[in-house]
Structure 1
Amino acid sequence: MNASVKNVIVVGIDGSDSSMAAARWAAHEAKLRKAELHLELAYSVPTAYAGPGAMIPPDLYDMARDGAAMSLKQARDAVLAAEPGVVVTARSGMESAFVALREASRNADLVVVGSHGMGVVSETLLGSIAMRIATHAHSPVVVVRTDPHDGPPVPPVAADAPVMVGVDGSPESEVAISFALDEATIRGVGLVAVRTWDEEPLDGFLRVYPLEIDRNVMDEQERKLLGDQVQAWADKFPQVQITESIRRGQPAGALIRYAAEVAPALLVVGSRGRGGFAGLVLGSTSHELIAYATGPVAVVRAPKDR
């Protein structure tokens, strides 16, 4: 990959079905953006199992290198069959997949990985690094899920499926809205902006002060905050139809449930937030979204956090 080039989408490859699904998703994204698609594969030789002082047969390195080359060829063939006009580059190396992808993200507009890889023991497997990449990459990261928890395959996304974004009024969610609107624009679809508020604490409060808080009033207050944040962006993107939605519940669960109803082309969240989305990078919210959402999830970090 040319280090001076931007307009590049990087996708992590490890030979798994999940990484192939991520590659096809990334190829379509590259077509929409008129971007270069770069396939990145890191591999290792399992020397830990040889025992202390043991000699590693040279053939083992050759086999690992040949296997990596085969996986890259299969991925290249698959993406070119799906999107023939996309420019594809590729690289493989014997190194940590996390390090390779994070380094590649320095010169990328987007990094795409599968939600899980070929197993659970090697760091090179994408499933073990999806969260780390989403946390530490220098670019936005999309995690593509194909068959959550051995359930039925995720159905194809409708051509007119909207982009969904979770917002909370924080500066980081402004970055997420910007990214989501760009995605909606290149797809020619609408945007669903979602703000959540957690009503669970009210259950205990209302037993003591049952007349003090009206949930409908809270909904309206949250709706006004959402509308104020979205309006500034609506003026900048008049071509995108924006739908606003207030959902009750903890942020991850509320977003996952609503995304299951809407079936968006992409669910976008900022890497951190305040209130409902606080601690998104390292807390349970990001983990739940990446692990349980039944479609692609984009985690967007503010430039100062990359």
Structure 2
Amino acid sequence: MTAPILVATDLSGRDDRAIDRAAMMARSRGATLVVVHAVRPGSRLAGKPDEAEAALRAAMPDGLEDGLTVELLSPEGYPPDEITELADEVGAQLIVTGVARYNDIGDYFLGTAVDFIIRHAHVPVLVVKQRPHAPYTRIVAGSDLSGTSAQALGYAGQLLPQAAIRLIHGWSVPFAGWQKSKHVAKEVEEGAQESLDAFIASDLIAPEVKTRITAMLVEGSPEKTIRAAIAEWPADLLVLGSQGHTAMHRAFLGSTAENLLGSAPIDTLIVPPSGE
């Protein structure tokens, strides 16, 4: 049986995008959709489970249950904790969430709850920014050529088996201000290309996923090269891998992923290492 997809909502209208996207993905995968609104202790719905369930049901988009099994849950507790714990309890394959808000210049504010979920979830988290109109068909994936980035790529390829993938690996000359010789840059670029070719050829990536990858070596920082790829190619999903958990059980995203989560104009999938 296909594992369920869990979507979190605070009952605001801005979460319709996340719910619609989660429902679209659940239908395509034959999965149950679990919609969660965690009731904060001390809020107006605290201690009123029937009213909380009614409020959650009233906030659902029309036609949500057409051709889809939907489970509505309204546990009481600190929302980020409840959402990540419920994802583990129901065996969710994916957590879907929206952003807290966004502005006219394309910057997105995730909010404390979304940030917590991304850093503590044991399953991939999809942050929905755009209103969904069709399944994802074009993926931009940033890669540092590590096993973690290969896992993220593999998950995205399995989740979206029809999507084309543009894999971006940025390279730059160390201490570029000191390195004036063109042959140094050429050697660094050639080494980066060899590493990228070896990564694509390795067993880290499934053969079926490889057939859909266009690998691109681009000069510049990871953030710069990924932004450029999104601007030049009409991708609808960005895929990034997190670097696991520290002793305090917080996922290390790195500055590139954190910045892109807030500024990339497209939906973003964060994939933790397997076994976390």
Q: How many residues align?
A: 262
1:32-181 equivalences in 2 (<5 Å): 32-46=28-42, 61=46, 66=51, 69-75=54-60, 77=62, 79-80=64-65, 84-106=66-88, 107-116=91-100, 127-146=111-130, 161-181=137-157
Q: What does the per-residue CA deviation read over 1:264-287, in whole Å, with 9 as the maximum and x for residues that have no partner?
A: 2321111129xxxxx982432221
SS at 1:75's partner residue?
coil
Change beyond 3 A, Cα 1:42–1:117: farther
Q: Which residue, 271, 277, 280 being the options, matches 2:242?
A: 271
Amino acid at match of 1:257: A
Deviation at 1:235, TM superposition (A): 6.1
Q: Is the 8 A contact 1:115 1:291 kept in 2?
A: no
Change beyond 3 A, Cα 1:168–1:280: farther
Q: Is the 8 A contact 1:14 1:117 kept in 2?
A: no
Between the aligned partners of 1:20 and 1:40, the Cα distance in structure 2 is: 13
Question: Which consecutive unaligned segments of at least 5 residues does structure 1 have?
Answer: 48-58, 119-124, 147-153, 274-278
Change beyond 3 A, Cα 1:211–1:220: closer
Amino acid at match of 1:173: S
SS at 2:64's partner residue?
helix
Deviation at 1:10, TM superposition (A): 0.4
Q: Which residue in 1 is equivalent to 2:219?
A: 248
Q: Which residue in 2 is equivalent to 1:25?
A: 21
Q: Is the 8 A contact 2:136 2:237 kept in 1?
A: no
Question: Which consecutive unaligned segments of at least 5 residues does structure 2 have?
Answer: 103-108, 245-249
Between the aligned partners of 1:257 and 1:40, the Cα distance in structure 2 is: 35
SS at 2:184's partner residue?
coil
Q: Is the 8 A contact 2:5 2:22 kept in 1?
A: yes
Between the aligned partners of 1:238 and 1:99, the Cα distance in structure 2 is: 34
More helix by share: 1
Q: Is the 8 A contact 1:21 1:144 kept in 2?
A: yes
Q: What does the per-residue CA deviation read over 1:225-252, in whole Å, with 9 as the maximum and x for residues that have no partner?
A: 2222123466620784221112222223
Q: Say what the alpha-carbon RMSD is for the aligned residues.
A: 3.1
Deviation at 1:160, TM superposition (A): 7.2
Between the aligned partners of 1:163 and 1:94, the Cα distance in structure 2 is: 36
Q: Which residue in 2 is equivalent to 1:291?
A: 262
Structure (1 or 2) with the larger CA radius of gyration = 1
Percent of pairs with identical residues: 25
Q: Which residue in 2 is equivalent to 1:225?
A: 195
Q: Which residue in 2 is equivalent to 1:14?
A: 10
Q: Which residue, 205, 211, 230 being the options, matches 2:178?
A: 205
TM-score (normalised: structure 1): 0.74
Change beyond 3 A, Cα 1:157–1:98: same
Between the aligned partners of 1:92 and 1:267, the Cα distance in structure 2 is: 30
Change beyond 3 A, Cα 1:74–1:280: closer
Q: Which residue, 154, 169, 189 being the options, matches 2:163?
A: 189
Deviation at 1:13, TM superposition (A): 0.8
Q: Is the 8 A contact 1:247 1:254 kept in 2?
A: yes
